[in-house]
Amino acid sequence: MSQINFYPTESSQLNEVDFNNIPFGKVFSDHMFSAVYEDGEWKDFQICPFKELTMHPSMMALHYGQSIFEGMKATVAPDGTPLLFRPEKHIERLNKSAERMCMPVFPEEVFHQAVHKLVGIDRNWIPSREGSALYLRPFMYATDKYIGVTASSTYRFLIITLPVGPYYSKPVNLKVERKYVRAVKGGVGEAKTSGNYAASLLPAKLAKAEGYDQVMWMDAHEFKYIQEVGTMNLFFVFKDKIVTPATEGAILKGITRLSIIELLKSEGHKVEERPLAIDEVKEAYKQGELVEAFGSGTAAVVANISQIKDVDIDMKFNESNWKLSSRIKSFINGVRIRKEKDRFGWIVPVKEQVSH
Ligand SMILES: Cc1ncc(COP(=O)(O)O)c(C=O)c1O
């Protein structure tokens, strides 16, 4: 067991928060986990009061983009036990992102210890309303003070946490992106790295100006195959099957996506992970074979899609057909608060209940 030092806050902000009305992404809990990579090893593990960071103007992450992150959730059982959703998958993906971005992997055992301890300490920050959660943001960035394109030799790893209410409660309408691309096979699309999100901002802004919530990314070679949207993977429910684009190097391997595939297969649905051409979706829509479409991701869990607009078609999806997606959403949200049985072993109860 690695030593994680704990420095409690002297002024908790908990009483300042209105848990019935939490703005997403703006409210931070009392503590954060911090670690430093130096001389080839991770050290200085600590949980300390949430605070601002100082940085050198040449800090490499700012210039050359070695910066990766994760997004995961902690919820609370009726008996008050904090619950984590598939934390082992998140550290696995973080370390895959690290490898791709030429960054050091973070020790899994320390990650789990840190998450349990941090969530245990700030357990009163976990909102209890169904669909709400404590959002955990682990992230790592390069800290060498150096101007020059090379991999940094020092890094910082932090976990900050934020109470969040239900996200994307509204259905989303999508525009098929025909000019810009998000990711190309062989690139960094499968890594959860900051630049991927920066690259998405201009197309998203242009789509918003036209009245769309998000763009639907297409493959970068032919603009033929569907990839994903913003921070979600995609599922298309046909009358006889459910299809989700195969990740194949350019799409983020979503953990919600993985969980939904497991759930659907266990229920006997025919689930296909394969390249999905937009033309196939259009044809099925015209034939009345396409029932619903939805996005999946940690933040939203499931977001219904009300419309997909392409140059030659405007596909509208009727709310009365959003049956499968609603059931999946309520199952995953239910598992997260022990309202549903955790049939797949997704939930990890927090072991450490630190009082301070
Ligand atoms: C680009 C992208 N795709 C898909 C997802 C969904 O992944 P997950 O279900 O692990 O949250 C996310 C969110 O992490 C994302 O940022």
55-89 tens-digit pLDDT: 999 999 999 999 999 999 999 999 999 999 999 99
CA distance 226 to 219: 6
Instruction: Compare 128 and 223 and report the one with higher pLDDT.
Output: 223
Average pLDDT over residues 5-22: 95
Q: Which of 90, 190, 232, 346 to mutate to test the pocket of ligand 1 (most atoms within 8 A of CB)?
A: 232
Mean pLDDT in the chain?
95
CA distance 37 to 132: 33
Q: pLDDT class for 280, splitting at 50, 70, 90?
A: very high
Residue type, 138: P
Q: What pLDDT, on the 0 to 100 scale, is given for residue 100?
A: 98
Beta bridge partners of 310: 313
Q: What pLDDT, on the 0 to 100 scale, is given for residue 130?
A: 81
Average pLDDT over residues 243-271: 97
Q: Are strands 172-176 and 301-310 parallel, antiparallel or unpaired?
A: parallel
- Distance (angstroms) between ligand 1 centre and the Cα of 295 equals 10
pLDDT per residue as tens digits for the range 153-169:
999 999 999 999 876 56
- Distance (angstroms) between ligand 1 centre and the Cα of 230 equals 8
CA distance 68 to 143: 13
Residue type, 227: Q
CA distance 30 to 49: 6
Q: Check if 228 has its Cβ closer than 6 Å to any atom of ligand 1.
A: yes
Q: List the domains of the chain with CATH numbers.
A: 5-167+342-349 (3.30.470.10), 172-321 (3.20.10.10)
CA distance 113 to 138: 13
CA distance 143 to 154: 5
- Distance (angstroms) between ligand 1 centre and the Cα of 85 equals 14
- Distance (angstroms) between ligand 1 centre and the Cα of 174 equals 17
Q: What tokens does 20 get?
A: 């019935």
96 backbone dihedrals φ, ψ, rounded to 5°: -65, -45
